Amino acid sequence: MINIYTHKKLTWVDLESPTKDEVIEVMNKYKIHPLVAEGLLTPNMKPRVELYKDFIYLILHFPIIKRNHSEEKRKNQEVDFIIGKNFIITTRFDLIDPLHEFSKVFEVNSILDKSHLGDHAGFIFYHMIKRIYHSTVDELVYVRDTLKRIEAGIFSNQEQQMVFELSKVARELLNFKNTLALHKEVLESFEIAGRQFFKGDFEYYLRSITGEYCKIHTLIEGEMESLTELRETNNSMLTTKQNEVISKLTGISFIMLPISLVIGLFAIDTPYRPIVGMVGDFWMLSLLFIMLGFGLYFFVKWKKWL
């Protein structure tokens, strides 16, 4: 599907899961290199930057961890950018919310002619990537809220349930970190290509794009540290509870072992057994075991083993 938006002399061509005919149409109209056009038909595994005579070809991947995405759709999303002087082409294979929102703003501004997006398509890319990165920050805020709920659960005696929740957040943050790990190198390469291609005063915007990435990288590192601290706290509290249970079981075993030993001694069938055979021997033995049990119990409490 092709969507075309225009603003003054600038054109944005948005391709969603394009067909071969659509790609050929765009290739012929904007003089796209055949190898680049071929890459628009299928997803690419790695991000990259390529500088051509009439455009810059840029591939980036973005993680998806929002709560409104089902588990099977929790994957990375690819966006291919072809940035010329007066046009920009984006190719994607599913709906990307920030680009969808940007298309509405772009269309409204085009109709009302209320904003000046810039003199070339590089400025459109700048506004696009900023919006995508801001959306990424919003998803990190959702992760932060999840960590706060986990923290509350840890201190509400829900340590065992929080083990699974911590693992889910760890998986999401690792996916986030790994997906965005290559952005720094790609954006640095794009900064060099952008200075050569656009020249002029666009260098500030190129650095600003890299700065947006650095903010996200810092946020991810911060959330990873928070996750590590919460996991260590949760593990410590689980270990403490387990030690308390083991200590109580050890105390109970200490009490029961002597009583079992005495009962065993009185159970030996010999001609000479004290108390056994006397009138009320059962009650006397029961009282003896109870007194022994209480004596051992108070001894254990005095030693603070329970």
Give the span between the Cα atoms of 222 and 217, in whole angstroms: 9
Percent of all residues in the chain with a pLDDT value above 90, rounded to a whole number: 3
The phi and psi torsions of 290 (rounded to 5 degrees) equal -65, -45
Q: What is the pLDDT of residue 261?
A: 74
**Together in a domain, 71 and 103:** yes
The widest CA-to-CA distance across the chain, in whole angstroms, is: 115
User: Has this prediction a pTM greater than 0.75?
Assistant: no
Q: Which of 188, 208, 239 is the last residue of a domain?
A: 239
pLDDT exceeds cutoff 70 at 264? yes
Give the span between the Cα atoms of 274 and 292, in whole angstroms: 17
Q: Which of 201, 216, 239 is the last residue of a domain?
A: 239
**Together in a domain, 247 and 131:** no
**Together in a domain, 231 and 254:** no
In this prediction, residues 286-301 reach a mean pLDDT of 77
pLDDT exceeds cutoff 70 at 270? no
**Together in a domain, 165 and 192:** yes
Task: Look at the chain and report how many structural domains it folds into.
Answer: 2
**Together in a domain, 57 and 195:** yes
DSSP state string for 132-152: HHHHHHHHHHHHHHHHHHHHH
**Together in a domain, 55 and 34:** yes
**Together in a domain, 73 and 119:** yes
pLDDT exceeds cutoff 50 at 70? no
> 108 vs 2, 4, 15, 102, 283, CA distance in Å?
19, 14, 20, 10, 94
CB 124 within 8 A of CB 118: yes
Burial class (CB in 10 A: 0-12, 13-18, 19+), 225: exposed
72 band by pLDDT with thresholds 50, 70 and 90? very low
Scanning the chain, the segments in alpha helix (DSSP H) are 20-30, 34-39, 97-112, 121-154, 159-180, 183-198, 203-266, 281-303
**Together in a domain, 28 and 141:** yes
pLDDT in tens, 117-149: 667 888 888 888 888 888 888 888 888 888 888
Scanning 32-120, the segments in alpha helix (DSSP H) are 34-39, 97-112
Between 47 and 240, the more confident residue is 47
Residues paired with 7 in a beta bridge: 10
**Together in a domain, 107 and 144:** yes
**Together in a domain, 171 and 269:** no
CA contacts within 13 A on the Cβ side of 245: 6
pLDDT exceeds cutoff 70 at 110? no
pLDDT in tens, 210-234: 888 888 888 888 888 988 888 888 8
Q: Which domain holds residue 279?
A: 243-303
pLDDT exceeds cutoff 60 at 113? no
Mean pLDDT of the chain, nearest integer: 81
**Together in a domain, 93 and 25:** yes
Residue whose entry in the numeric block shows the structure tokens 């829900």 = 158
Q: Which of 192, 218, 239 is the last residue of a domain?
A: 239
Q: Residue 8: which CATH number?
A: 3.30.460.20
**Together in a domain, 228 and 254:** no
